Amino acid sequence: MNGTDLADRIGRHTARIAVIGQGYVGLPLAVEFARAGFVVTGLDTDADRIARLTRGESYIPDVPAEDLQQVIEAGRYVATADVTALVDQDAVILCVPTPLRKSKDPDVSHVVACARDVARFLAPGQLVVLESTTYPGTTEEVLLPMFEEGGLRVGQDFYLAFSPERIDPGNPTYRVKEIPKLVGGVTPACTRMAAMLYRQIVAQVFELSSPAVAELAKLYENTFRSVNIALANELALICHHLGVSVWEVIEAAATKPFGFMPFSPGPGIGGHCIPIDPFYLSWKARLNGYEAKFIGLADEINRTMPRFVLELVNRALNDRGKPVKGARILVLGVAYKRGVGDVRESPAVEIIEELLERGAQVQYVDPFVPTLTIRERGLEASRLEPGLLRWSYVALILTDHREFDYETVVREAPLIVDTRNATRGLAPQDHKIVRL
Ligand SMILES: NC(=O)c1ccc[n+]([C@@H]2O[C@H](COP(=O)([O-])OP(=O)(O)OC[C@H]3O[C@@H](n4cnc5c(N)ncnc54)[C@H](O)[C@@H]3O)[C@@H](O)[C@H]2O)c1
């Protein structure tokens, strides 16, 4: 197959697409291509995930089970752990995790592992796209040599591009289709081919001059978030010392229609992106002789927040003559943000761990997280009921899920520590609510 054949198959939606990694990023993407008529194979090394997907069960809130079942029944989606499914694919998209090592250096071992599989089955005319967030240079310095080792030439025999995933799990306004895509190919032909593929499912695709620009753009986006969240968190700490509501200050500043964008403080940062991605940038900068300053500082401030929340709980209980030891604490929300069940890096884990360590009795509610493991100890989610709120000495709001009935929380809980301003405007007895 040559480039004309591939472009033709993409345009007619007959190209066969494999998406490696069926998580928060890979599954919505695979299902979107399948819904557009492509035959898609979802590859994953996690046998349990493959079994669930094959049964038509979705574990990602942004992918309704009905959508998944429809594409399975139509014969346009199959999930498998068998890498030989990479034979005869027209396009292969890599969506595997890119975590940090304990040293906070990038760990691209998952990318390398699946690129090895791709290299084994790489065939003339194939398009390969990396979507995992990673440091600038990964596509050209790590993947390209692996793919050219077998003698095929990029831009002529096969196409290689980087296109960062920008999905925001749990955001109903911006889904795969609505989020503009960036594409940077190793050669102009690579860029054009990858852009053409994404244009079949995404309204806006921007072509960039290189993979490095696309890799950096993604890291800049997430560093921007980390730094601005840190600034909001620092403002919360300053406001606390000044006895002023940080929420009111941010709301006031946000009335300016230009030159300002509001970010919210909170109990800390979590998820697979914001606490991790900026370190991919600072690591690469360091290797090239530049020490990034904002990234480390933002992380330092963001990481003080769980301790600050513990201090708020401690003081609120102390003011009522109660020690943390033996206190009944009801945590509302353990996911790292509203609307998702993701507890990776969630500050709630650190906060609950410390509360248990100090001898508190902790129960939690979270409609998206049925069970939670804290230091090998399994906790089960409770239902948010008036009796449970009355049982608690303090209700600690860590995630502002829309599913919580805050009016009941404000009415029934004897004391509330609200780290998200979720009880805004609902406080007849304001004295029992401590806000960040
Ligand atoms: N979660 C987000 O909000 C988000 C948003 C934008 C970008 N990203 C980036 O996208 C990438 C994937 O993130 P995610 O949240 O989807 O991760 P995830 O952990 O939800 O999913 C990754 C999947 O890849 C599978 N996997 C790992 N190694 C594999 C291999 N060698 N072969 C096949 N499958 C393999 C895992 O079993 C897992 O199911 C990361 O680089 C992340 O930074 C994530």
| Tens digit of each residue's pLDDT (9 = 90 or more) over 36-75 | 999 999 999 999 999 999 999 998 888 999 999 999 999 9
Ligand 1 centre and the CA of 244: distance in Å? 41
- Cα 428 to chain centroid distance, Å, stands at 36
**Atom nearest to 277 CA in ligand 1:** 43
Q: Is the shortest distance between the CB of 26 and ligand 1 below 6 Å?
A: yes
What is the pTM assigned to this prediction?
0.94
Closest CA to 79 of 105, 123, 49, 122: 49
* Alpha carbon distance 265, 282 (integer Å): 23
User: Which one has a higher pLDDT value, 272 or 207?
Assistant: 207
Paired tokens of 129: 């796209």
**Integer Cα distance of 37 and 44 in angstroms:** 21
Mention every residue, 6+ apart, whose C-beta is less than 8 A from residue 216.
Answer: 136, 281
d(C-alpha 166, C-alpha 183), whole Å = 12
| Amino acid 376: pLDDT | 87
Q: To test the ligand 1 pocket, which listed residue (24, 59, 110) has its Cβ within 8 A of the most ligand atoms?
A: 24
Can 273 be counted among the known catalytic residues? yes
Contact 226, 299 (CB under 8 A): yes
Among 272, 276, 345, which residue has the most ligand 1 atoms within 8 Å of its CB, making it the best to mutate?
272
**Is the sign of the CA dihedral 16, 17, 20, 23 positive or negative?**
negative
- The structure tokens listed for 374 are 């804290």
Yes or no: say if 122 and 147 are a contact pair by the CB < 8 Å rule.
Answer: yes
Residue 271: which residues within 8 A CB-CB, separation 6 or more?
336, 337, 340, 342, 344, 345, 346
Residue 20 is which amino acid? I
**Cα 162 to middle of ligand 1, angstroms:** 15
Residue 171, SS3 per DSSP: coil
Q: How far is the CA of 21 from the centre of ligand 1 (A)?
A: 6
What residue type is 81 in one-letter code? A
The reported pLDDT for the residue numbered 176 is: 87
Choose, from 95, 114, 239, 273, the residue flagged as catalytic.
Answer: 273
Please state whether 405 falls in left (phi above 0), alpha (psi between -120 and 50) or beta: beta
Question: What whole-number distance in Å separates Cα of residue 231 and Cα of residue 327?
Answer: 32
What angle is formed at CA 288 by the lines to CA 282 and CA 289, rounded to 5 degrees? 90
218 CB near ligand 1 (under 6 Å): no
Per-residue confidence band for 426, with pLDDT thresholds at 50, 70 and 90: confident
- Protein residue with least CA distance to atom 1, ligand 1: 24
User: What is the rounded distance in angstroms from the CA atom of residue 302 to the CA atom of residue 149?
Assistant: 43
Residue 201 structure tokens: 């499912």
Whose alpha carbon is nearest atom 25 of ligand 1? 21
Element (H, E) at 227: helix 211-242
State in Å: Cα 291 to ligand 1 middle.
Answer: 28
280 lines ligand 1 (CB under 6 A): no
Task: List pLDDT tens digits, range 200-249.
Answer: 999 999 999 999 999 999 999 999 999 999 999 999 999 999 999 999 99
Amino acid identity at 327? A
Tell me the CA end-to-end span of the chain in Å, nearest whole number: 60
Query: pLDDT category, 369, cuts 50, 70, 90?
Result: very high
* pLDDT of the residue at 430: 64
20 secondary structure, DSSP code: E
- Residue nearest atom 10 of ligand 1, based on CA coordinates: 132
Torsion of CA 52, 54, 56, 59, to 10 degrees: 30
Ligand 1 within 6 A of CB of 266: no
Atom of ligand 1 nearest to the CA of 26: 16
